[in-house]
Amino acid sequence: MAGKLYGIGIGPGDPGLLTLKAKEILDRTGTIVCPVKKEGEASTALEIVRKAVNISGKRIVPLVFAMEGGREQFEECGRKAGDVLMDILSKGEDAAVITLGDVSVYSTYMYLDGYVSSKGFETEIIPGVTSFSYAAALAKIPLMLGDEGLAVITPKGRSIEHALEGFENIVVMKSGKHMKEMSAAMTARGIPHENAVVVSRAGMEGQHIGVIDERREFNYFTTTIIKKVMR
């Protein structure tokens, strides 16, 4: 019988935010798969899992997902990664792909799930705490109240302006290098800068919670919450 593929959301950084179900599956699965952007890169997700799960004796399989080579290269990586996974599953072994935050939020796992299940393999997705839920918790602010809406975006094109036009609250993922655009979009709409919270490396070493600051260097693990009205 073929093995089963699990896509596991491990939360944003604090190992205490791994769900019981995620831990239970990771404890009993022999192969842990971590998507990385290039060969030899350390997996942040694995570093988090390691703090909550004993991974000694488990097979760790890094899978390269190049993000900068364009659509074709990305799809090629997906096919190769899918084939590696199917090879493991065909031998009757289960495999758990770990992903930061939640699996349904900007995660490469969803491509793998589609590919592997289209070939007849069983898969299961275990949701995790999203980075923006944790960011809101750390900043002690609501993402939305009453009948307010929330847009979750990346800073692509004019997405910040568009989201601010249509929603009371916005979450800007991957916002570390986009302080200037966020600041300008808020100023243009008369939204005070105190209404934005930048949360960087939540639950990781170097965690930072602060305001939009164009002079500060923020890394990739940065999420910004902008609220039109701060109650």
With beta carbons less than 8 A apart as the criterion, state whether 195 and 227 touch. Answer: yes
Quick one: which H or E segment has residue 180?
Answer: helix 179-188
Residue 219 is a binding residue for ligand SAM (CB under 6 A): no
Q: Of residues 104-143, which lie at the interface with ligand SAM (CB under 6 A)?
A: 105-107, 130-131, 135
Quick one: which H or E segment has residue 216?
Answer: none
The two beta strands, 31-36 and 95-99, are: parallel
In 3D space, the residue among 99, 88, 117, 4 whose CA is nearest the CA of residue 49 turns out to be: 99
Residue 35 is a binding residue for ligand SAM (CB under 6 A): no
Report the residue number, 53 or 199, with the smaller CB distance to ligand SAM: 199
Give the separation between CA 87 and CA 83, rounded to whole angstroms: 6
With beta carbons less than 8 A apart as the criterion, state whether 96 and 25 touch. Answer: yes
> Could you tell me the smallest distance in angstroms from the CB atom of residue 142 to ligand SAM?
18
Give the separation between CA 178 and CA 15, rounded to whole angstroms: 28
Which region among 56-64, 78-86, 118-126, 215-223 touches ligand SAM (by CB under 6 A)? 215-223
Residue 101 is a binding residue for ligand SAM (CB under 6 A): yes
Residue of the chain from 98, 102, 111, 197 that contacts ligand SAM (CB under 6 A): 102
Residue of the chain from 87, 220, 229, 230 that contacts ligand SAM (CB under 6 A): 220
Residue 174 is a binding residue for ligand SAM (CB under 6 A): yes
Q: Which residues form the interface with ligand SAM (CB under 6 A)?
A: 12-13, 99-102, 105-107, 130-131, 135, 173-174, 199-204, 220-223
